[in-house]
Amino acid sequence: MPSLKPTAYIRIGSDKAGTVTLAQFTVKNKERLQQAGVIAPVRNCIGFIDFLVGQKSLNEIDFFKSKRIPPAKPGDGSPLGEFLQNYGEFKEQDIFMTTETLWSRLVKYDILKKSVSDQVVELLESIAAFFEHHQVKIILHLRRVDGYADSSFNQHVKGGGTTSFEDFFKRYQPMPPRAIHLLNMLESVFGREAIVIRPFERGQMKGNDLIADLLWLLGRSNLECRTKEAANESLHRVMVEVLKEINRERGKVLSNEELQTISSFLRQERGLRDVKGFLTKEQRETLLESYSEFYKEVSLRYMDGAPLFQEPLIDSKFSLDEKEAALARKLILGSIGQNVSVEHLRSLAESA
């Protein structure tokens, strides 16, 4: 018999699968969502997870703290604190909370160890117990591992990293046993029917759009929301190659927003052809093979055996053009301490 309770939708990850876009969406459309019967109390619910970990003294998994999000407690005046204190007021409304951290941190940790596994289950049970007036649905966006590796390296360089892709790629140790174990724990607490897996592929999203897909999951497909802005886009491949060297020479010299402005300028104003990703097709095939067991399990459990991912494998072989590299370097170094606008970048490019 269907539950008469409203739903608490908890998006648990993964990272590199639209987290920033969804967080910005909840902030910009908080009032619209509330008018449609959906409470979105916080931009990122990592503080909620950390609160439960602290409340239960789960020392084995006490790694959900965030430098950007201060600790919260009921009634402390923060948005999360107010939600914790006033949760009972929302027992007739749906709730949406999102974070990348619950899945992404646990699946990389030693959760096969019994003492850790026991505390993970206790945390999940705490989430279920907190939402006593709601049925809980767990949403998990999964990005194919080769695209995840591409995006992670791009973000690494954008953040000031200097590791070569070859060395960075070596970090990708297969983790299907931990991922399957975490799915098992989620099912043991919430039930398989409460878990929704969405492939992070545009072609499999409703309306080919992440926000439209989310609204469909929330049962609010007709809700008119503010158009999302591009969030946390990958940098142009030429910029990544040049920026690696600048990072080694000077460290991080520009903000992510400034770097993205330059990247967009290279694509749109200068028309520089971009190469998506860093992996060759052979590397992608090798990486996917190491995850085949996990993907097959997800397909059988949640997608009636249909393929989890459908996009073709790409080959990201790349040869750096010296003139394009020189332009990118000039734009980056010439923007340090400046107001990075399109007009400023045009001026730098014309003097190149």
DSSP string covering 89-138: GGTTSEEEEE-SHHHHHHTTS-TTSHHHHHHHHHHHHHHHHHTTTSEEEE
pLDDT digits (tens, 9 = 90+) for 152-203: 999 999 999 999 888 888 776 667 899 999 999 999 999 999 999 999 999 9
Residue 66: its pLDDT value, please? 76
**Calpha distance 14→326 (Å, rounded):** 36
Residue 231: its pLDDT value, please? 59
pTM more than 0.85: yes
Where does 7-217 sit in CATH, by number? 3.40.50
pLDDT digits (tens, 9 = 90+) for 24-75: 999 999 999 999 999 999 999 999 999 999 999 999 999 888 777 777 888 7
Residue 174: its pLDDT value, please? 64
pLDDT digits (tens, 9 = 90+) for 9-27: 999 999 889 988 999 999 9
Answer yes or no: are the C-beta atoms of 143 and 14 closer than 8 Å: yes
What's the mean pLDDT in 126-139? 98
